[in-house]
Structure 1
Amino acid sequence: MANQKGGVGKTTTPHNLGMALSRGCRVLFIDLDAQGNNLTDACGLEAEELKATAYEVLDGGVRLSDAICQLGPRLDLLPAGRNLAVAELAFASRLGRENLLKKALAGKAYDVALIDCPPSLGLLTVNALNAANGVLIPVQAEYYALAGLDLIQETMQGVIENLNPALALLGILLTFYDGRKSLNRDVASGLADRWGAQVFRTRIRDNVALAEAPSNGQSIFEYRARSYGAADYEALAKEFMKRIKNK
């Protein structure tokens, strides 16, 4: 999940999508965002509970299996800590620095790994793109939120040409959508004109419960299972599985 702009649902999406997928798949959350309101926080984990974080795994000092937090029978999390904020500098001069995550994930038995990237296009995001099969880009239904799509595409193209030729755009997901607003409808139309079938048919509607759930350390399905947010992420999970099976 990548977008250099914050506040577009980049953390909300893997959290709720992963919860829906974990009903039938073995899912791994990977949190590479050291900033506040990250995936680790949304899952209700406190810093003092963590055995280790993504930083130690990327650094090579801790095995992935030793840093994993089990959230459910088929759902694990590689958490982020504040130390991840210095990863860009700490790993900048390391040989093979773009392969740290890919190496850590090699041979691990998960059906789906959902990586929450930081809101930047730096080394951690490049590590995620190098390890990934596909990129899902959440985009808020406002014009200024569309400006960053070209930047993400340029970064992806660089990774494809130099590191991971198998990387593909899985899709663009419209978030915070309100069909009553002409601006939102115009943005949706513009995305469809520019990106066509690469835009997910599912739209994540603007829903207060989606904003409230993380503060309780819960997914939308635990917090308010009958909300619009739960219905939308349920629909996204089905569309997501169809897309990855066709890649």
Structure 2
Amino acid sequence: MDTPRPFAPRPEPLDEDRYGDDHDELDTELDAAAESVGRRRVKVPEPAPLTEHGPARVIAVANQKGGVGKTTSTINVGAALAEYGRKVLLVDFDPQGALSVGLGVQAHDLDATIYNLLMERGAEIDDVILKTNVEGMDLLPSNIDLSAAEVQLVTEVGREQALGRAIKPVLDRYDIILIDCQPSLGLLTINALACADSILIPLACEFFSLRGVALLMDTIDKVQQRLNPDLKILGILATMFDPRTLHTKEVRQRVIEAFGDLVFEAVINRTVRFPETTVAGEPITTWAPGSNGAEAYRLLAREVLIR
């Protein structure tokens, strides 16, 4: 697949005297983040290799608030899971197509997207899935056409299960399917929650992000009652954390007080590396593989696998 030419130079290899092979600096940051909220870090071991693949766990990455790191987290935790030998499918379920663009796909030029899979009889999922530049990670792309699906599905029988029906043929092919949801609680997001085994909630360490959590939890509760009784919350991921500010520490503290062990150990700090990866069309695990951002997503991947 074509990858856009990066505007920023590829980062230089990290100074091993500063970071070391065991990423002492990241450990120090995570220890400090945990200590700041009165929490003790738990070490998460690397997963054992697999001898066979499937059936897939389906994880919806959702939060109705925009700009909290849903797409960034979907791309990077997916790439980290692939590094650990898992077969991963990323589903771009946002009409903005940010997930597709973030992986170097020119979404507006695609002949077939997830919209065709949902709305056209006879459409085959293998005709829509794209290989990415990350070995073991595939993409089900999207573009603005998907916005029409939300309107057209309203009159369909079983409209909440449309996505589940679409991905069912490949469940035995992958270990993890990650669905990047749009920043709303509309029919597309309900579709994702209806077919998911669990939901991963990225939450920016900002006060306004906290205000929307209750609404999201209410939606999850309704989906559990009416559509998917097996849906569970996989975890809450603190994103855009700035260890220099008291505000982000206080927000994370409140999240931990409210949700306890549901909050992941992994913390995603603010860094210029993430905007760079979007321009480059690749995950941080390949763009800056030795960076603390890459290591944070590898930690998240390990936590996802043990939960």
Q: Which of the five TM-score ranges fits, normalised by the shorter chain?
A: over 0.9
Does the 8 Å CA contact 1:136/1:169 hold for their aligned counterparts?
yes
Matches within 5 A, 1:1-247: 1-23=61-83, 24-35=85-96, 38-47=98-107, 50-61=110-121, 62-71=123-132, 72-108=134-170, 109-243=173-307
Does the 8 Å CA contact 2:241/2:268 hold for their aligned counterparts?
yes
Residues in 1 aligned to 2:198 and 2:74: alpha-carbon distance in whole angstroms: 13
Offset at residue 48 of structure 1 (A): 5.5
Offset at residue 219 of structure 1 (A): 0.7
Other-structure match for 2:11 = none
Structure 1 unaligned spans of 5+: none
Offset at residue 51 of structure 1 (A): 3.8
Query: Which string of whole-angstrom CA distances, capped at 9 and with x for unpartnered residues, describes residues 199-230 of structure 1?
Result: 11111111110122111111102221122211
Offset at residue 49 of structure 1 (A): 5.0
Residues in 1 aligned to 2:81 and 2:109: alpha-carbon distance in whole angstroms: 25
Residues in 2 aligned to 1:49 and 1:5: alpha-carbon distance in whole angstroms: 28
Query: Which string of whole-angstrom CA distances, capped at 9 and with x for unpartnered residues, describes residues 111-143 of structure 1?
Result: 000000000000100000011000000000011
Greater shift, 230-239 or 59-68, is seen at 59-68
Q: Secondary structure at the match of 1:225?
A: coil
Q: Secondary structure at the match of 1:176?
A: strand
Bigger Rg over Cα = 2
Offset at residue 106 of structure 1 (A): 1.5
- Say how many residue pairs are matched: 242
The letter of the residue matching 2:153 is F
Q: Secondary structure at the match of 1:92?
A: helix
Residues in 1 aligned to 2:180 and 2:286: alpha-carbon distance in whole angstroms: 20
Offset at residue 50 of structure 1 (A): 2.6
The letter of the residue matching 1:172 is I
Residues in 2 aligned to 1:47 and 1:113: alpha-carbon distance in whole angstroms: 20
Q: Secondary structure at the match of 1:106?
A: helix
Residues in 2 aligned to 1:181 and 1:160: alpha-carbon distance in whole angstroms: 37
Residues in 1 aligned to 2:120 and 2:111: alpha-carbon distance in whole angstroms: 15
Query: Which string of whole-angstrom CA distances, capped at 9 and with x for unpartnered residues, describes residues 177-207 of structure 1?
Result: 1112100110111011010001111111111
Residues in 2 aligned to 1:89 and 1:162: alpha-carbon distance in whole angstroms: 21
Residues in 1 aligned to 2:205 and 2:141: alpha-carbon distance in whole angstroms: 29
The letter of the residue matching 1:29 is L
Pairwise CA RMSD of aligned residues?
1.2
TM-score by length of 2: 0.77
Residues in 2 aligned to 1:138 and 1:67: alpha-carbon distance in whole angstroms: 27
Higher RCO (C-alpha 8 Å, min separation 6):
2
Q: Secondary structure at the match of 2:229?
A: coil
Structure 2 unaligned spans of 5+: 1-60
Query: Which string of whole-angstrom CA distances, capped at 9 and with x for unpartnered residues, describes residues 138-191 of structure 1?
Result: 000011111111111111111111111100000110001111210011011101
Offset at residue 35 of structure 1 (A): 1.7
Q: Secondary structure at the match of 1:232?
A: helix
Residues in 1 aligned to 2:126 and 2:239: alpha-carbon distance in whole angstroms: 33
Offset at residue 74 of structure 1 (A): 1.4
Q: Secondary structure at the match of 2:254?
A: helix
TM-score by length of 1: 0.95
Does the 8 Å CA contact 1:207/1:228 hold for their aligned counterparts?
no
The letter of the residue matching 1:101 is L
Residues in 2 aligned to 1:119 and 1:171: alpha-carbon distance in whole angstroms: 18
Which consecutive segments of 4 or more residues in structure 1 shift more than 4 A? Answer: none
